[in-house]
């Protein structure tokens, strides 16, 4: 059980590095915020933060350039490049802390032509930046994390889709990895749960030390096919490979299932009593023909079981198949078959094509909810500050104005944090994905072009401030906050 949790523990440890460094943005935002409501952010704070962010970008660029090489890297190199990229991501976000306070200042300065609730909300946020700037920094951190995670997840999903290798034709039920003694039980389980479904049976040579290889000189097997070299079976297996129930079958003829335009009239079978010996194998030439398939991944050389048995080989079941041409199996039916095989060592599988993992969406949604919570925190638990409350009462005279003010306040704070977070999170995702996909083994496929979800990032950046504004308005009662002091009321 501990071994199963190890990848998640390692990933959590990795994520703590950028989040821990980025948390400095909250402290930087609080220290850079002026104590005077009319004060301005010192340029040295903003410039110093941008220098830190630039250093973070530089680290990520170095890591990305090192990871772009498609040659194989060791695990230690991969670990080092990922740590470098994550540290750079944390520095990029942490350096944006003072920028949030500066954005609040700019909003208040240029809000003169905006509607009254929005104008007052901008001035209220800028007037108490010691408390609002850290909340904006929290929004920035959470948004940057959510956006970066989205960019990385979409890019890596594209890699997985490009390199996905199907195990069967779409809709096929496979039952395999069972012993010869359990073959009958596996077949019975299928027939009980799928009555009337024809079961095709691929067979294998029972003696692992006997050598058997079938090839046709004119046929070159393409990459990415399901079956390697040859498939042994009967007419059901052949028709499963081609996807055509009208495919002719001859128990004495090998069929090369291929979509290549070749003409094949014979195939050679190399076989030997014991492949551990140095004695040359025996070669037998048998009739052959070609047949096309509806699924290019099913290209293979089909060998009738009778031919193999006539060579003196003993065969045993290797894989049971329910042909999707005759019966497509649903996930519920697969679960019932698995239930029947609960006491048997066997694997069941239904080919559904590439199914992207969506577990990252829960983490991204949680990050965006934290961002919304940070924006709501700019209200500090009160509805309206005393000065804006008096202005709203004199000018509007309506209780709904307080809700518009609260909505504007949370929306503007979310807008500042979301803008900074999206600007930081997008390049983080685009750069971090390179070291994450470094090749650490010869079996790792080469990268496909990464897809950056620009539309999704833009939609999230626009939706977060709107959601924060709506919640800020709904969570505000249509009256003055009873916590406003009598002195505050008297001043109004």
Residue 398's pLDDT is 56
DSSP state of 328: P
Residue 355's pLDDT is 87
Unique residue bearing structure tokens 């039952």:
175
Residue 448's pLDDT is 84
The span from the CA of 347 to the CA of 344, in Å, is 9
Which band of pLDDT confidence, cut at 50, 70 and 90, is reported for residue 15? Answer: confident
Task: Please return the burial class of 163, using the count of CB atoms within 10 Å of its CB with bins 0-12, 13-18 and 19+.
Answer: middle
Mean per-residue pLDDT, 303-310: 94
By the 8 A CB rule, do 376 and 115 touch?
no
Following DSSP, what letter does each residue of 51-99 receive, concatenated? HHHHHHHHHHHHHHHHHT--S---HHHHHHHHHHHHHHHHHHHHTTHHH
Nearest to 472 by CA among 124, 137, 141: 124
Contacts for 81 with CB less than 8 Å, ≥ 6 apart: 63, 66, 67, 73, 435, 438
How crowded is residue 354: how many other Cβ atoms within 10 Å of its Cβ? 12
Mean per-residue pLDDT, 294-319: 93
Any idea what the Cα angle at residue 67 is, between residues 61 and 69, rounded to 5°? 120
Residue 2's pLDDT is 44
Which tokens go with 459? 């939609």
Residue 483's pLDDT is 44
Q: Is residue 463 pLDDT above 70, yes or no?
A: yes
Mean per-residue pLDDT, 443-469: 89
Average pLDDT of the chain to the nearest whole number: 85
Residue 488's pLDDT is 41
Q: Enumerate long-range contacts of 271-278, CB under 8 Å, 24 or more apart.
A: 271/210, 271/211, 271/212, 271/213, 271/311, 271/313, 272/210, 272/211, 273/210, 274/209, 274/210, 274/211, 275/209, 275/210, 275/211, 276/209
The span from the CA of 238 to the CA of 127, in Å, is 78
Strand partners for 286:
267
Nearest to 425 by CA among 92, 60, 99: 92
Mean per-residue pLDDT, 316-323: 94
Following DSSP, what letter does each residue of 279-301 receive, concatenated? SPPEEEEEEEEEE--SSGGG-EE
Following DSSP, what letter does each residue of 228-241 receive, concatenated? -SEEEE-HHHHHHH
Residue 393's pLDDT is 54
Mean per-residue pLDDT, 52-68: 93
Residue 321's pLDDT is 95
Q: Is residue 224 pLDDT above 50, yes or no?
A: yes
pLDDT-wise least confident of 44-48, 301-305, 383-387, 414-418 = 383-387
Unique residue bearing structure tokens 């496979």:
174
By the 8 A CB rule, do 244 and 294 touch?
yes
Any idea what the Cα angle at residue 421 is, between residues 419 and 427, rounded to 5°? 110
By the 8 A CB rule, do 96 and 27 touch?
no
Residue 478's pLDDT is 56
Q: What is the pLDDT of residues 361-393, one digit of tens each?
A: 999 999 999 999 999 988 754 545 545 555 555
Residue 85's pLDDT is 94
The span from the CA of 41 to the CA of 135, in Å, is 16
Residue 491's pLDDT is 42
- Phi, psi at 213, each rounded to 5°: -145, 130
Strand partners for 230:
301
| H/E element, 460 | helix 454-474
The span from the CA of 313 to the CA of 306, in Å, is 10
The span from the CA of 349 to the CA of 334, in Å, is 7
Mean per-residue pLDDT, 402-424: 90
Any idea what the Cα angle at residue 85 is, between residues 83 and 90, rounded to 5°? 95
Q: What is the pLDDT of residues 229-287, one digit of tens each?
A: 899 999 999 999 999 999 999 999 999 999 988 889 999 999 887 766 666 778 899 99
Which band of pLDDT confidence, cut at 50, 70 and 90, is reported for residue 492? Answer: very low
Instruction: Give how far the C-alpha of residue 443 lies from the chain's centroid of Cα atoms, to the nearest Å.
Output: 21
The residue ranking higher by pLDDT, 343 or 424, is: 424
Percent of the chain whose predicted confidence (pLDDT) is above 70: 87
Q: Is residue 78 pLDDT above 60, yes or no?
A: yes
By the 8 A CB rule, do 191 and 197 touch?
yes
Q: Is residue 490 pLDDT above 50, yes or no?
A: no
Residue 108's pLDDT is 84
Residue 40's pLDDT is 83
- Phi, psi at 221, each rounded to 5°: -70, 130
Q: Is residue 207 pLDDT above 80, yes or no?
A: no
Q: Is residue 482 pLDDT above 50, yes or no?
A: no
SS3 content of the chain, % helix, strand, coil (to 5): 55, 10, 35
Mean per-residue pLDDT, 463-467: 94
Mean per-residue pLDDT, 426-437: 93
Residue 481's pLDDT is 46
By the 8 A CB rule, do 49 and 57 touch?
no
Residue 350's pLDDT is 93
Mean per-residue pLDDT, 425-449: 85
The span from the CA of 365 to the CA of 154, in Å, is 15
Contacts for 229 with CB less than 8 Å, ≥ 6 apart: 213, 214, 215, 221, 300, 301
The span from the CA of 263 to the CA of 218, in Å, is 8
DSSP state of 446: P
Percent of the chain whose predicted confidence (pLDDT) is above 90: 50
């Amino acid at each position: 059980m501990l071994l199963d949790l190890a990848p998640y523990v390692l990933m959590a440890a990795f994520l703590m590095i950028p989040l821990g460094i980025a948390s400095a943005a909250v402290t930087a935002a609080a220290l850079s915020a002026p104590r005077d409501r009319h004060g301005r952010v010192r340029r040295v704070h903003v410039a110093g933060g941008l220098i830190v962010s630039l250093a973070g970008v530089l680290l990520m660029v170095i890591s990305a350039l090192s990871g772009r090489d498609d040659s194989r890297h060791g695990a230690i190199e991969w670990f080092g490049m990922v740590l470098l990229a994550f540290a750079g991501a944390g520095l990029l976000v942490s350096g944006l802390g003072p920028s949030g306070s500066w954005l609040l200042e700019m909003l208040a300065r240029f809000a003169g032509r905006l509607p009254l609730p929005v104008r007052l909300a901008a001035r209220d946020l800028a007037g108490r930046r010691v408390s609002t700037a850290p909340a904006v920094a929290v929004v920035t951190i959470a948004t940057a994390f959510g956006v970066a995670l989205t960019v990385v997840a979409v890019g890596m999903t594209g890699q997985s889709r490009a390199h996905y290798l199907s195990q069967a034709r779409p809709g096929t039920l496979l039952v395999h990895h069972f012993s010869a003694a359990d073959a009958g039980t596996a077949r019975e389980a299928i027939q009980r749960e799928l009555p009337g479904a024809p079961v095709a049976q691929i067979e294998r040579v029972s003696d692992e030390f006997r050598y058997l290889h079938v090839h046709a000189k004119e046929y070159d097997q393409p990459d990415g096919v399901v079956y390697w070299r040859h498939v042994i079976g009967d007419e059901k297996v052949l028709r499963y490979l081609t996807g055509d129930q009208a495919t002719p079958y001859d128990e004495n003829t090998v069929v090369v299932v291929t979509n290549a335009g070749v003409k094949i009239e014979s195939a050679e079978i190399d076989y030997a009593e014991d492949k551990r010996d140095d004695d040359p194998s025996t070669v037998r030439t048998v009739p052959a023909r070609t047949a096309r398939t509806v699924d290019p991944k099913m290209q293979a050389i089909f060998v009738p079981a009778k031919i193999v048995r006539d060579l003196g080989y003993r065969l045993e079941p290797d894989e049971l198949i329910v042909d999707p041409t005759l019966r497509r199996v649903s996930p519920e039916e697969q679960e019932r078959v698995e239930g029947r095989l609960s006491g048997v060592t066997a694997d069941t599988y239904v080919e559904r094509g590439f199914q992207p993992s969506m577990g990252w969406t829960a983490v991204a949604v949680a990050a965006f909810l934290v961002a919304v919570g940070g924006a709501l925190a700019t209200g500090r638990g009160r509805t309206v500050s005393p000065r804006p409350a008096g202005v709203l009462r004199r000018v509007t005279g309506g209780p709904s104005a307080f809700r518009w003010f609260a909505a504007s306040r949370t929306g503007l704070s979310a807008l500042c944090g979301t803008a900074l977070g999206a600007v930081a999170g997008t390049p983080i995702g685009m750069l971090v994905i390179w070291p994450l996909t470094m090749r650490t083994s010869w079996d790792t496929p080469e990268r496909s072009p990464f897809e950056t979800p620009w539309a999704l990032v833009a939609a999230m950046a626009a939706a977060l401030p709107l959601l924060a504004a709506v919640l800020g308005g709904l969570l505000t009662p249509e009256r003055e906050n009873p916590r406003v002091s009598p002195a505050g009321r008297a001043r109004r």
